[in-house]
Structure 1
């Protein structure tokens, strides 16, 4: 059985928290129907065993041969190697799209942290979202065409996270003018691997309140 550690929800250590990188790992395991043991880690009060065994203190983390691996891309690569079916690796022809769209995180964080509406962070975010919307319109239903792959697993947790956070903190709904992203997300929410691992809105908001010091 795979043993992993993931962020617990701020305010409720018994529930999965808002970390989209932890969600990536769990979605991958669920899509491959792999049994796993989930340890929820309260990052404000880490258990001593976790501090002792995983000195970096980072999540997600996965135990391998008695040691904890805490790089999300390495973890997902290892799971893909151990459990090759169904294949989730992004096809080579969509590698550029994968690289671009999994970096949406930085644009979202910049926008949420911004205190100046004229600093360009919103414009940069909108450009990337427009590119994703156009890509889905040309290549959908998934980012890599006909198949659900790792690039979807990378991107969907970001979108789910930031739909809630952008609405709450910025009163910004990027769904309004991006019909292909809206349709894409609606189809993603029909997948149990996504819905079963998506935190409640209150935990997403609590997590971002802490990150943004609000």
Structure 2
């Protein structure tokens, strides 16, 4: 569970915080499940370079000790030096504040618009994948506008959302993101080249399972 580190002889400011991240478990109850919010916090802590531990939570069999730790709360959430924090947005702000330079990396994006990059794509994708009349999608795609913000920030949803679009559209709609959408492919290529993304991203099968109910409705 939570990691402990020696603190004897260290100043208070030099002590490493004890952080544990709780994320949604996959279908096997142990692996990382499909949850962009979980992955987002996972990547933030990874990129900060802080020591932390990760616990996957099986929502079907949530352990009693976790129910007592954060009653009525679903992952992701963290404990920071024993204090439970459950609001994802506030957790991000808190981590950026307490894990600050020069000891830890500053993660605020250079381009504020990168925080919302990909939302247009995901909105179109959601309508595309949930449409029970596939013929209505002819001539259209979930692609939307190409992403204009280059590079991998590690903090915006674009990488996770584009990953879901790629996997789910191919599985359930036999659609692949066109190669001419260079902005999207640049994001995906950059993302999959980074350890902090590939090691926090759920497997393709978990993403497919997350959309299986939608797929069943489409076949009725």
Fold agreement, TM-score > 0.5: yes
Aligned partners of 2:23 and 2:67: how far apart in 1?
Answer: 14
When normalised by structure 1's length, the TM-score is: 0.78
Superposition deviation, residue 194 in structure 1: 0.7
Matches within 5 A, 1:123-134: 123=140, 125-127=142-144, 130-132=145-147
When normalised by structure 2's length, the TM-score is: 0.76
Matches within 5 A, 1:33-182: 33-64=49-80, 66-84=82-100, 85-91=104-110, 94-102=111-119, 104-117=121-134, 123=140, 125-127=142-144, 130-132=145-147, 135-136=148-149, 140=150, 142=151, 148=153, 150-151=155-156, 154-182=157-185
Superposition deviation, residue 206 in structure 1: 1.8
3-state SS of 2:143 partner: helix
Tell me, yes or no, if the aligned pair for 1:18 and 1:204 is still in contact at 8 Å: yes
Distance 1:25 1:104, change over 3 A: farther
Tell me, yes or no, if the aligned pair for 2:19 and 2:81 is still in contact at 8 Å: no
Unpaired stretches in structure 2, ≥5 consecutive residues: 1-17
Aligned partners of 1:82 and 1:7: how far apart in 2?
Answer: 24
Tell me, yes or no, if the aligned pair for 2:117 and 2:158 is still in contact at 8 Å: no
Answering whether residue 25 of structure 2 is matched by residue 20 of structure 1, we say: no
Aligned partners of 2:121 and 2:183: how far apart in 1?
Answer: 16
Distance 1:102 1:21, change over 3 A: farther
Tell me, yes or no, if the aligned pair for 2:162 and 2:184 is still in contact at 8 Å: no
Superposition deviation, residue 3 in structure 1: 1.1
Tell me, yes or no, if the aligned pair for 2:169 and 2:176 is still in contact at 8 Å: yes
Distance 1:110 1:21, change over 3 A: farther
More helix by share: 1
Aligned partners of 2:63 and 2:119: how far apart in 1?
Answer: 31
Could you tell me which of 13, 19, 25 is aligned with 1:8?
Answer: 25
User: What is the root-mean-square deviation in Å for CA atoms of aligned residues?
Assistant: 2.7
Aligned partners of 1:123 and 1:88: how far apart in 2?
Answer: 36
Q: Count residues in correspondence.
A: 196
Question: Corresponding residue for 1:201?
Answer: 204
Tell me, yes or no, if the aligned pair for 1:50 and 1:57 is still in contact at 8 Å: no
Tell me, yes or no, if the aligned pair for 1:165 and 1:205 is still in contact at 8 Å: yes
